[in-house]
Structure 1
Amino acid sequence: MSHDGDQQISIISFIGSVFSPWYRWSGRVNPENHCCINVATYGKGGRWTMTDRGQAALRQTANTFEVGPSKLTWKGGKLYIDIDEMSWPHMTRLKGRVTVTPSAVTDVELPLKADGSHVWRPFAPSSEIEVDLNQPGWQWTGHGYFDSNFGIHALEDDFSYWTWGRFPTKDNGAYCFYDASVRDGSELAVGLHFGAEGSVEVIDAPPRTRFSRSKWLVKRETRADPGYKPRQVHDMLDAPFYCRSTVKTQIFGEETVGVHEALDLNRFASPLLKPMLAVKVPRKTGWSFEG
């Protein structure tokens, strides 16, 4: 998110693209054959890119992750994200670099299910970002976040509802909240405070608090002090099963604006959604790194 709060960017790198209908239709037998670097920019001139690519487009080393023309490189304590993707449905090329500079890298690894089949790894909950893209006005700095999720099952098979939020603090730390309804009847409820230097503390989080549904009527809730009503500040992504937005809430007396996500996995499990997603997630199988 930019320091003025008016622009946001989300970048998700996938091996086994969980939101790809092509991966689901394939039977999920070869995750490396469904890889992607999804880029979404929000604000004036915002763009969306998410191309499902085949195994030929994937190349990895200890410090690099490449999918077709785009790549991530870890060097000198920074993450460099070089983007060269086609924006849908604008049919324009989105190119440039995003640099993520963590204040610290944590050693936290948290199972999201008791059997360890889904794991959350918040590498850098507090980071500075620098955005330099080939769109007018898309050169800015701000604060950001870097994490990973790992899983051996489809999200919709193991969870029915999922909400997550990351809220920066005045001391350059961050609160992160993960809440989910597991299909075995259990509930996930995690609250963590990350210090700027990489420390982590499990907190007794404020109560779950409902706020307005998304335009597609996806239920939304986040953590907030008793009596405080969270509210959406900016609409980022609004889909029939998924909502991403910036939200203002209050945690232990401190008002903060962070990124919030809500995911209705009952809706996502519907086979009717997959053809709709295929329009937003084109499939390209061929690629050669040799040019």
Structure 2
Amino acid sequence: MTERPRADVTRDQSNLVIGPSAVRWDGNVLEIDIEERDKRLFNPFRRPVRGTVRVIPEALNAASFALDPAENHIWHCMAPRARIEVEMEEPGVSWSGSGYFDHNRGSEPLEEGFRVWHWSRAHMKQGAVVCYEGERGDGSLFASAIRFDRHGVPDEMPLPPIAQLPSSKWRIERRTRSQIGVAEVRKTWEDTPFYARSELSSQLFGEDVAAVQESLDMRRFASPVVQFMLPYRMPRERA
């Protein structure tokens, strides 16, 4: 929630510390301690955000996937299915439910490697399905549908048909995959000039599913106007 200088970041095999916040992995549970302040556009008052999130994987996957031929960008879905427990002190809210945990890593900025991407994840009766597709910086396309069984083992599946979605309020183009070629946006959680994240109802591999979907436009992200706006949305700590 805050951009921080390099000196405020430390890490080892099981820990990542970013300013006053930290992430710990004990081999069974990922625990995230949040000690932050929010920032609302054009509002100088930053409210405290403090609490703990626990991510308990139902299965772990060791395989990573390259998103480009040069392997400059790697995607790793560590926990295709997980349980989450959220305990916030400020604001005073808590909940638990189902979750997912992955990360992207790479040797160059995302805006150099990609123009757009669309990603979605759905829990199945057994395991989960992730659909990932987009356009790389050189104009080439990539697309995959990966099904993880209840043990977290991945298997690349035939791509379901494209299901077009309505553009976001910021006119971000969205799409996903659905066995019947149709999906419905239930709710949009994040809608920004370069990124949209939504909940969908869809059908995959014979099951009706609720899916989390995101669309990212790195051309928008790299534009001077968006770069100028970012510090008003995400505060920056100076070295």
Q: Secondary structure at the match of 1:283?
A: coil
- Number of the residue aligned with 1:251: 204
Counterpart-to-counterpart distance in 2, 1:127 and 1:246: 18
Q: State the partner residue of 1:111.
A: 66
* Cα separation, partners in 2 of 1:283 and 1:137, compared to 1, 3 Å: closer
Q: Which residue of 2 aligns with 1:191?
A: 145
Offset from partner CA, 1:192-249 (integer Å, 9 cap, x none): 00112111111002012101111111111000013x4211112211001110111111
In the aligned structure 2, how far is the partner of 1:156 from the partner of 1:110?
19
31, 37, 40: which is aligned to 1:80? Answer: 31
Please state whether the residue corresponding to 2:62 is helix, strand or coil.
coil
- CA distances 1:52-111 after superposition (whole Å, capped 9, x unpaired): 101221111221100011000001411000111001126111111100000121111100
Q: How far off is 1:134 after superposition?
A: 2.1
Tell me what 1:142 maps to. Answer: 97
Instruction: Report if the CA contact (8 A) 1:55-1:285 is conserved.
Output: no
Over 3 Å counting, the alpha-carbon distance change for 1:188 and 1:59 in structure 2 is: same
Gaps of 5+ in 2: none
TM-score (norm 2): 0.94
1:52 corresponds in structure 2 to: 3
Alignment length (residue pairs): 235
Tell me, in whole angstroms, the C-alpha distance in 2 between the residues paired with 1:146 and 1:229.
26
Please provide the CA RMSD for this pair.
1.4
- Identify unmatched segments of 5+ residues in structure 1: 1-49, 287-291
Matched, 1:175 2:129: yes
SS of corresponding position for 2:59: coil
- Match of residue 14, structure 2, among 40, 57, 63: 63
Retained in 1: the 8 A contact 2:48–2:90?
no
Task: Give the equivalent residue in structure 2 for 1:241.
Answer: 194
CA contact (8 A) 1:56 1:285 kept: no
What's the secondary structure of 2:227's corresponding residue? helix
